[in-house]
Chain A
Amino acid sequence: GDSVTQMEGPVTLSEEAFLTINCTYTATGYPSLFWYVQYPGEGLQLLLKATKADDKGSNKGFEATYRKETTSFHLEKGSVQVSDSAVYFCAPSLGGSNYKLTFGKGTLLTVNP
């Protein structure tokens, strides 16, 4: 059945390091793809999205590309900051529907100064 697999953490990096968080999915059809972020003590926020193959979503220096051939949507940032410390969730819309999001288990990122 449809599912999402997200790199599990925790991930600890030094400031200005490169970040990759892997996300792959299995799906019927072509889902829309999302990354959400949950900062400490705050609610879920949409970070970026992509709706079709080869689309690149970007926001706040983060990027992710919709790779249909590998069914992946890896999150990357070239230089992380302490303020990027949060839990990151990959969330494709699976089940042949754009109505519901299927969340990964989340990746806790801690960035040290």
Chain B
Amino acid sequence: DAGVTQSPTHLIKTRGQQVTLRCSPKSGHDTVSWYQQALGQGPQFIFQYYEEEERQRGNFPDRFSGHQFPNYSSELNVNALLLGDSALYLCASSATGQGPAFEQYFGPGTRLTVT
């Protein structure tokens, strides 16, 4: 079982550019969540996708958008990058039908550096 995979591992972008991060969920999972983890902080929820639609969103601006594909994989897009967007971006997958526990399994993350 491959677990949650993310690409790329590291990325360096310039302020004002746009970036796309990718995530493949664990086998059998249909739900993908994205989190931003700044250095020394806990992850913060960006949004969650289920059935190819955004189901819930955290307190992030519209510059952050996403997409889920029919095979349940997902992309996170960030436009007009700011220095403050530098962080580790984590993808987590879960199975919506598994009940109230909603265990989320995390990928290794993509380290984004904005210069």
Contacts and interface: CB of A to CB of B under 8 A. Distances in A.
Contacts of B86: none
Given A100-B45, A106-B41, 8 more contacts: A32-B102, A42-B108, A44-B90, A49-B101, A51-B101, A89-B42, A102-B45, A103-B43
B45 A49 contact: no
Contacts of B105: 46
A43 B105 CA distance: 10
A97 to B, nearest CB: 6
Residues of A contacting B: mostly: loop
Contacts of B42: 6, 89, 91, 103-106
| Most chain B Cβ neighbours within 10 Å, of A45, A49, A99 | A99
Interface residues of A, number: 24
Interface residues of B, number: 24
B34 to A, nearest CB: 10
Contacts of A99: 33, 48, 55-56, 102
A85 B16 CA distance: 39
B28 interface: no
Interface in A93-110: 93, 97-106
Contact of A105 (B41, B58, B103): B41
B45 A32 contact: no
A51 B45 contact: no
A50 to B, nearest CB: 9
A100 B55 CA distance: 10
Given A32-B101, A93-B102, A97-B56, A43 B41 contact: no
B45 A43 contact: no
